[in-house]
Structure 1
Amino acid sequence: MRLLLDGYCRASCQQINFGKSSLFFSPNTPASIRTELRAILGMTMVDDPGKYLGLPTMWGRSKKEVLQFVREKLLHKLSRWKQSLLSQVDREVLIKSVAQAG
């Protein structure tokens, strides 16, 4: 595994920061292999890899539920964008129509 990662680093001219990296294993991976890889690579083991580039690395069953925060963030930015393009009169009409709809 270490030779493979070293080959990748040479080929890509990139370097792996093993201090910031972590290992995540399938539940089916034997404990002996986990321990051996951890020792060889010098990385910590984690139960949940968290997020990468702002997205969760573990999806689970419902992608809709996992990506809900992306939808909310997009709608929030879109509403701010729309508000900045509206005139003062248009904003008042929008506020009144939203208030009446609620």
Structure 2
Amino acid sequence: VLDTYCNASGQRINNEKSSIFFSKGCPAQLRETVKNNLQVDNESLSERYLGMPTDVGHSKNGTFKYLWDRVWEKIK
């Protein structure tokens, strides 16, 4: 799929800059298989990507509260 995307878009994936994130329930064996197949070694998750939280759980109110607070400050 990634090769198809690269061929269609003309963009290339930089594996050194890439990282991958797995859910908590993903088995270690599967994680290693996927990382090896994609040739991505970095397994991490930043708190934010493009200014938005990356880990949004069931409590969306708590996750996006900072946005509400920022907008409310501007309104006041």
TM over 0.5: yes
Q: Show the counterpart of 2:32.
A: 35
Q: Show the counterpart of 2:43.
A: 45
Q: How does 1:69-88 map to 2 (within 5 A)?
A: 69-79=66-76
Q: Residues 62 and 12 of structure 1: is their aligned pair in 2 closer, same or farther, counting only changes over 3 Å?
A: same
Structural RMSD (CA): 1.9
Runs of at least 5 residues in structure 2 that lack an aligned partner in the other structure:
none
Runs of 4+ with deviation above 4 angstroms: none
The one-character-per-residue Cα deviations of 1:11-42 (angstroms, maximum 9, x if unpaired) are 12222222222111122322112112223323
Alignment size in residue pairs: 75
Q: Percent identity?
A: 36
* 1:22–1:43 Cα contact (<8 Å) kept: yes
Is 1:7 the counterpart of 2:22? The answer is: no
* 1:21–1:44 Cα contact (<8 Å) kept: yes
TM-score, normalising length from structure 1? 0.59
Is 1:21 the counterpart of 2:11? The answer is: no
Q: Which amino acid aligns with 2:7?
A: R
Q: Which amino acid aligns with 1:33?
A: L
Structure-1 separation of matches of 2:71 and 2:13: 32
The structure that is helix-richer by fraction is: 1
Q: Show the counterpart of 1:55.
A: 52
Runs of at least 5 residues in structure 1 that lack an aligned partner in the other structure:
80-102
TM-score, normalising length from structure 2? 0.74
